């Protein structure tokens, strides 16, 4: 029975561990911007459950479902407004380019009166339309404001070219716009694929129809790579955080090892240093002894040693003779000491008389030398 219970408890524990790991992975995937690790989630299980519950109501950026829908609707409206503005702005800039190119051609070559009239009409219409848009403030503000320079839109519209010129311009404008756009598209195609520049116009038109798809696919590929790069950066940041945490732990362990074992290691190191210096000192002493012996060998040759031996023998002989003489004198003095103090007085008197005799003898000798 116990064996059966143990075997049943092992799968349950392993399944709970697997469930916990999957929950951790779900939380980490739901909140990639948070610097969380599996260790943090393991140490705080209640916080992990809270994040898992919260992930069902918010996305990875922290927005709720309602906020995300509102944000998506606002983005769609913004995209619509942006496309509308981009369409009108592109048309305006295209017309400006056409007018500028006409001015350049006009300065470098002669142009027909029809072309000159057409571009002057387009330019005048653009200027009037731009002024009318600048004067109309109703699109940006809800309050009535005084007109700029005291002008109204109706007054500016009176500066439009004649109706006949405008009609002719409109009839030709579509064709000119189409030609100019085709020219720009061919330029873009040549920039994108330079080898297609010498192709025929029909082949270029066919390839232009596929260019938007190619650009869109490359744009999606670039966005995908950008997203992967962002995910890789997030993963790298998480790994860096884990690496730094482990590195700090290793540093703390090393600090504790240094503080705990430094004195012991220092004691052993000092003992080894003492042994080393003792051995070194002994070697130096042996070298000094060897040098002294070498100096003695160089100084005392065989002849010098034999001479020193003879001198020593002579000195020892003289020392022995002096010691014998000393012993005889000491024995005589000891024999004289038997007579006592009276003999000592007689000895002193004898010594005095001997000195006087010596002195007088010396004086007599000197006197006799001078008389001769």
Q: What is the pTM of this model?
A: 0.41
Task: Look at residue 6 and tell me if it is in a domain.
Answer: no
Higher pLDDT, 201 or 356: 356
> Which of 198, 217, 240 corresponds to the end of one domain?
198
According to the model, what pLDDT value does residue 17 have? 45
pLDDT at 60: 66
Domain boundary among 142, 174, 198: 198
| Domain span including residue 318 | 311-371
The answer as to whether 191 is a domain residue is: yes
pLDDT of residue 7: 41
Which pLDDT belongs to residue 254? 86
pLDDT at 8 over 50: no
Q: What is the predicted pLDDT for the residue at 138?
A: 58
Query: What's the CA dihedral at 47, 49, 50, 53 to 10 degrees?
Result: 160
Please write the tens of the pLDDT for every residue from 20-31.
567 777 777 777
Is residue 89 domain-resident? yes
- 294 within a domain of the structure (yes/no): no
149: in domain: yes
Within-domain flag for 35: no
Number of structural domains in the chain: 2
Residue 86, domain member (yes or no): yes
| Residue 281 Cα to chain centre, angstroms | 48
pLDDT tens per residue across span 333-348: 777 777 667 777 777 8
Q: Which of 46-50, 69-73, 297-301 has the highest mean pLDDT?
A: 69-73
Tell whether 182 is covered by a domain: yes
pLDDT of residue 92: 85
Residue 317 has what pLDDT?
92
Q: Which of 163, 180, 198 is the last residue of a domain?
A: 198
Instruction: Say what the alpha-carbon torsion angle 357, 361, 367, 371 is, to the nearest 10 degrees.
Output: 140
């Amino acid at each position: 029975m116990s064996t059966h219970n143990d075997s049943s408890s092992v799968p349950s524990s392993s399944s709970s561990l697997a469930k916990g790991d999957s929950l951790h992975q779900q939380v980490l995937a739901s909140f990639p911007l948070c610097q969380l690790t599996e260790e943090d989630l393991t140490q705080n299980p209640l916080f992990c459950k809270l994040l898992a519950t919260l992930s069902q109501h918010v996305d990875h950026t922290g927005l709720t479902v309602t906020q995300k829908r509102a944000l998506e609707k606002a983005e769609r409206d913004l995209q619509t407004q942006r496309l509308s503005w981009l369409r009108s702005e592109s048309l305006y800039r295209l017309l400006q380019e056409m007018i500028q190119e006409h001015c350049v051609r006009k300065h470098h070559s002669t142009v027909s009166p029809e072309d000159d009239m057409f571009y002057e009409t387009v330019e005048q219409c653009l200027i009037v339309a731009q002024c009318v848009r600048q004067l109309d403030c109703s699109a940006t503000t809800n309050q009535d404001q005084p007109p700029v320079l005291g002008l109204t839109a109706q007054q500016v519209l009176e500066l439009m070219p004649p109706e006949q010129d405008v009609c002719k311009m409109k009839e030709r404008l579509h064709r000119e716009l189409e030609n100019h756009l085709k020219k720009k598209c061919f330029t873009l195609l040549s920039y994108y694929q330079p080898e297609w520049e010498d192709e025929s116009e029909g082949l270029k038109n066919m390839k232009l129809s596929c260019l938007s798809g190619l650009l869109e696919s490359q744009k999606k590929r670039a966005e995908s790579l950008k997203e992967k790069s962002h995910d890789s950066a997030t993963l790298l940041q998480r790994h860096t955080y884990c690496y730094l945490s482990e590195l700090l732990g290793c540093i703390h362990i090393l600090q504790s090892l240094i503080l705990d074992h430094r004195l012991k290691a220092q004691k052993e190191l000092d003992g080894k240093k003492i042994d080393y210096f003792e051995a070194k000192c002994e070697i130096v002493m042996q070298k000094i002894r060897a040098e002294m012996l070498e100096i003695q060998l160089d100084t005392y040759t065989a002849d010098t040693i034999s001479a020193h031996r003879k001198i020593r023998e002579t000195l020892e002989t003289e020392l022995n003779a002096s010691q014998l003489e000393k012993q005889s004198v000491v024995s005589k003095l000891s024999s004289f000491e038997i007579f006592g103090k009276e003999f000592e007085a007689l000895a002193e008197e004898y010594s005095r008389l001997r000195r006087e005799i010596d002195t007088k003898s010396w004086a007599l000798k000197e006197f006799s030398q001078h008389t001769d």
